[in-house]
């Protein structure tokens, strides 16, 4: 499954309304996750590697990450990470930790 990573400019962050998305903080850790729905998050600060059976993806401050539904992966957080997660269309927060 393809993880999409885009580096956003500050103008793009503002246009998408990223600053209004829920903020989450994570310390250095390995976090296994299965995404039941497509999830978009913005890396506000920090650095991590997303490990999948198809390979690894590096993410860092300023990256917008799209994680497809059905993805099984492990977030290897090397430097504490702060992320903002795009709200679901129904307005409820997702239960996934990243």
Check residue 55 and give left, alpha or beta (phi > 0: left; psi -120 to 50: alpha).
left
Each domain of the chain, given as residue ranges in start order, spans 4-85
**4-85: which CATH topology?**
Jelly Rolls (2.60.120)
pTM of the model: 0.88
Q: Which of 20, 3, 1, 2 is CA-nearest to residue 64?
A: 3
Backbone angles phi, psi at 16, to 5 degrees: -80, -10
Rounded to whole angstroms, the Cα distance separating 93 from 87 reads 6
Q: What is the pLDDT of residues 16-36, one digit of tens each?
A: 999 999 999 999 999 999 999
- Tell me which residue has tokens 């400019």: 9
Owner of token pair 């990450």: 65
Is residue 46 classed as helix, strand or coil in its secondary structure?
Answer: strand
Average pLDDT over the chain, rounded to an integer: 91
By mean pLDDT, which of 7-16, 40-49, 67-76, 81-90 is the weakest? 81-90
């Amino acid at each position: 499954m393809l993880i999409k990573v885009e580096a956003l400019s500050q103008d793009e962050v503002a246009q998408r309304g990223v600053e209004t998305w829920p903020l989450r903080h994570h310390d250095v850790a390995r976090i296994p996750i299965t995404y039941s729905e497509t999830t978009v998050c913005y890396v506000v600060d920090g650095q991590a590697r997303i490990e999948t059976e198809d390979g690894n993806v590096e993410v860092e401050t300023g990256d917008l990450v799209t994680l497809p539904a059905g993805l099984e992966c492990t977030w290897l957080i090397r430097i504490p990470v702060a992320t903002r997660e795009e709200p679901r269309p129904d307005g409820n927060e997702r239960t996934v930790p990243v």
